[in-house]
Amino acid sequence: MDYFTYKNNELYCEGVSLEKLVKQFGTPLYVYSYAALKNRFERFNNAFKSIDSLICYSMKANSNGAVLKTFVGLGGGIDVVTGGELWRALKAGCPASRIVFAGVGKADDEISAALDAGILQFNVESEDELENISRIAVARGKKAPIALRVNPDVDPKTHAYISTGLKKSKFGVNHKRAIEIYKKASTMLGIQVVGIDCHIGSQITTTSPFVDAAKRVRHLVETLKSEGIEIKNWDIGGGLGIVYKDETPPTPEDYAKALLSVVGDLKLKFIFEPGRFLVGNTGALVTKALYNKVGENKNFLIVDAALNDLMRPAMYDAYHALWPVKKDGARPDLVADVVGPICETGDFFAHDRTMKQVLQGEYLALMSAGAYGFSMSSTYNSRPRACEVFVNGDQVDLVRHRETFEDLVRGEVMPGYLR
């Protein structure tokens, strides 16, 4: 969180005080640093400058248009998994030639839209999908550029819910059957084989799983070539972890060194799909303390953000650091659960967290909230979704209005007999 720092015990994002932001925009409030986004992209991109590479940001991590425009403006592409994400990517100005379409369940209308846009490639995850893409492409007089997502059965040593490269995973096709499926794809009228794809998971904190997967996929690439099937693009996926608490993930330079030791001599275009790495440590969720509650067995700090704003703790038991917007070293330490107002026991941000006492009306920042924060938020308990702001130096831009109660019912239609 290099761009979130204390000045005279007050927390700033770049050149702007978070207290100033909450007074202007209220809470809960997502705050993103433009400088941090730019720095993360450029560092990752520079690590692979020795090869032909394209960074396709995995927009499911954070789909705000300002974030997308930042990466597109820096020369990046976008990895999408739905028709809505494809629409957002194009609306953000991303050239279709820099868009990769992944996901296990692409619908007919999504495939048609991607074909019409002229995307770089579809990452195909099953034989049924391959046949369906071919059928749609033939009907539209096109050839669909495809890469087969290969499941290398490599354990990424991360949370089970974000492990995607194991044999039991729903993602990709078994690497032992890949050659057979590629041979079939090369004969299909609506298909143009252009690449190979592999993505083993998220929040990976060591290079060895990436290396193991790359070795298996390289063997496939060489075998395909011997069978007369040329691969132009190798989509290596994403998954590079970040620091939430005390993790020691590889740096982009370490990651590049490890991968290039396996694939650096291949004359291919390499596609990378970082998501969390690019945005996770660039944003914070600011929340207001509502009440301190002394229970029989523990203390609770109740705040105005909730699991509908940031689902990761409830979903993954994930850790997010809690920084006071104003430090006061004279305060006593307090051990408490930090919880939201939603009617679920799972509505928490921290269990038994030791922190300086926080008084009613003061503000806390949940750090490392730039990835899978707003993008996974909801209106559960009829809570309008949070506001988002972008900070660039001393400049502040509102990049998403706070939802209103009217927004909650905007799509509802009341039957006549209830009017």
Decide: helix, strand or coil at residue 224: helix
Place of tokens 């143009």: 192
Decide: helix, strand or coil at residue 379: coil
Query: Residue 419: exposed, middle, or buried by beta-carbon count in 10 A (0-12, 13-18, 19+)?
Result: exposed
- Is 198 tagged catalytic? no
Give dist(CA 290, CA 377) in Å, integer: 21
User: Strand pairing partners for 294?
Assistant: 299
Determine contact, residues 153/175, Cβ cutoff 8 Å. Answer: yes
User: Strand pairing partners for 387?
Assistant: 29
- Give the angle subtended at the CA of 71 by the CAs of 102 and 263, to the nearest 5°: 60
Phi, psi for residue 258 in degrees, rounded to 5 = -65, -45
Query: Residue 67: exposed, middle, or buried by beta-carbon count in 10 A (0-12, 13-18, 19+)?
Result: buried
- Distances from the Cα of 172 to the Cαs of 88, 281, 317, in angstroms? 25, 29, 27
Q: Are strands 191-197 and 144-151 parallel, antiparallel or unpaired?
A: parallel
Q: What is the token pair recorded at 16?
A: 């702007």
Options 94, 198, 343, 387, the catalytic residue = 343
Phi, psi for residue 189 in degrees, rounded to 5 = -65, -40
Report the chain's terminal Cα–Cα distance, integer Å: 51
Give dist(CA 172, CA 126) in Å, integer: 7
Give dist(CA 224, CA 188) in Å, integer: 16
Element spanning 13, H or E: strand 10-13
Q: What contacts 348, CB < 8 A, 6 or more positions away? A: 307, 313, 314, 337, 338, 339, 340
Q: What is the token pair recorded at 193?
A: 């084989």
Determine contact, residues 286/27, Cβ cutoff 8 Å. Answer: yes
Tell me which residues are annotated as active site. Answer: 343
